[in-house]
């Protein structure tokens, strides 16, 4: 099935990229290279397998695939080197490997090739993997570009990591002394006392936060991930985290981290300022909060409640308990 689909795609766009970065294929249908000195010859299940073998073999420059027999030949040479050896035959496919320096593969890998956001990278580059890339959210000179972590997997990917936090007292979670740490440089009451970070976090346990005024340059959708509470993707309504605006939001649970309260729905309201940090809840924040990013070690606790009851229903006894916020458009 997959093979059929891939062959269809191949014939339509005549070019495909495998998982090997920067390698593309040019296809010529009903042709093959006559070659006495192949690198390898054999049966394969489909054209894609044949091309992929060539992608992985440095010596391989082109392949011939005979559809009817299901055979694949890997060549050291190409039709450009030997135009006379390219023969026509119904049901054969000639595939030439192109290692292109012009592919956008290097995007985001250097300061000068910084992209506006992880989502921009996802749309401009074929199948980028999660990891650290250079970004330049303000879109001006690349001089102020910096490194950020991109999540290219969750809910379609394109997420830029803006905050990785842990807790000041996870073991006594519902104690006043417990708070998230560090916190972004958002506007909360002066009493909020955990350290402020303005350094872009480079992974999910690199406890730092990107300058909050840059978050909205990366988008408006929010992904909240944690290893002690369910993951949410929240779209802004009248409320918006990046705009620091209280109101309605549309959240979806994209991963249940616990079976506790699996039937509970996701929060629908957001408030930046009811307490000592922003919170996501359903109706009344005092008893329906799912996430409370409390940064004060003198009052309340940083609620991470899969039941949405502003209670201690978070996952217990987790090594490296933490949470993350990601942004995309
Ligand atoms: C996360 O980043 C920090 C800081 O760069 C580094 O020390 C740590 O090893 C990284 N952890 C992982 C799991 O990559
Ligand atoms: C955060 O970003 C704003 C806007 O780009 C800038 O004015 C401010 O100096 C930055 N703050 C820090 C601590 O980098
Ligand atoms: C939350 O508290 C309010 C006021 O005390 C009450 O009316 C409401 O039923 C409570 N909601 C939940 C989900 O417990």
pLDDT digits (tens, 9 = 90+) for 316-327: 999 999 999 999
* Cβ–ligand 1 contact at 199 (below 6 Å): no
Write the pLDDT tens digit of every residue in 60-104. Answer: 999 999 999 999 999 999 998 889 999 999 999 999 988 765 544
8: pLDDT confidence band, cut at 50, 70 and 90?
very low
Contacts of 1 (CB under 8 A, 6+ apart): none
Find the ligand nearest to 287 CA: 3
Q: Which ligand is nearest to the CA of 311?
A: 3
Q: Could you tell me the pLDDT band of residue 3, with boundaries at 50, 70 and 90?
A: low
Nearest to 57, CA basis, from 78, 76, 33: 76
- Residue 208 pLDDT: 98
Tell me how far apart the alpha carbons of residues 48 and 43 are, in angstroms, rounded to a whole number. 12
Q: Does 205 contact ligand 1 (Cβ within 6 A)?
A: yes
250-294 tens-digit pLDDT: 999 999 999 999 999 999 999 997 789 999 999 988 899 999 999
Alpha-helical runs (H) found in the chain: 2-13, 47-56, 118-124, 212-215
Q: List residues near ligand 3 (CB under 6 A).
A: 284, 287-288
What is the residue whose two structure tokens read 């350094």?
A: 199
Q: Is there a contact between 198 and 185 (Cβ–Cβ < 8 Å)?
A: yes
pTM for this prediction: 0.73
């Amino acid at each position: 099935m997959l093979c059929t689909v891939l062959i269809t795609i191949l014939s339509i766009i005549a070019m495909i990229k495998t998982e090997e970065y920067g390698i593309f294929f040019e296809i010529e249908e009903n042709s093959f290279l006559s070659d006495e000195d192949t690198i390898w010859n054999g049966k394969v299940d489909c054209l894609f397998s044949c091309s992929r073998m060539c992608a992985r073999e440095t010596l391989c420059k082109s392949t011939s695939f005979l559809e009817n027999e299901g055979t694949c030949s890997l060549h050291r040479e190409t039709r450009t080197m030997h135009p006379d050896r390219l023969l026509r035959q119904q049901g054969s496919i000639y595939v030439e490997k192109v290692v292109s320096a012009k592919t956008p593969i290097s995007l985001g890998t250097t300061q000068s090739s910084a992209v506006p956001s992880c989502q921009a990278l996802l749309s401009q580059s074929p199948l980028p993997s999660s990891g650290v890339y250079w970004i330049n959210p303000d879109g001006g000179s690349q001089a102020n570009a910096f490194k950020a972590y991109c999540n290219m997997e969750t809910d379609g990917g394109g997420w830029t990591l803006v905050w990785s936090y842990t807790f000041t007292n996870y073991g006594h979670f519902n104690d006043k002394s417990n708070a998230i740490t560090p916190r972004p440089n958002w506007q909360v009451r002066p009493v909020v006392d955990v350290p402020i970070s303005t350094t872009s976090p480079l992974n999910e346990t690199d406890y730092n936060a990107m300058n909050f005024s840059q978050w909205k340059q990366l988008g408006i959708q929010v992904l909240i991930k944690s290893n002690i509470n369910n993951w949410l993707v929240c779209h802004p309504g009248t409320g918006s985290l990046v705009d620091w605006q209280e109101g309605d939001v549309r959240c979806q649970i994209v991963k249940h981290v616990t079976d506790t309260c699996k039937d509970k729905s996701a929060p629908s309201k957001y408030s930046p300022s009811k307490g000592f940090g922003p919170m996501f809840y359903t109706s009344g924040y005092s008893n329906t909060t799912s996430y409370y990013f409390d940064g004060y070690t003198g009052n309340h606790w940083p609620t991470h409640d899969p039941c949405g009851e502003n209670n201690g229903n978070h996952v217990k006894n987790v090594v490296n308990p933490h949470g993350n916020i990601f942004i995309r458009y």
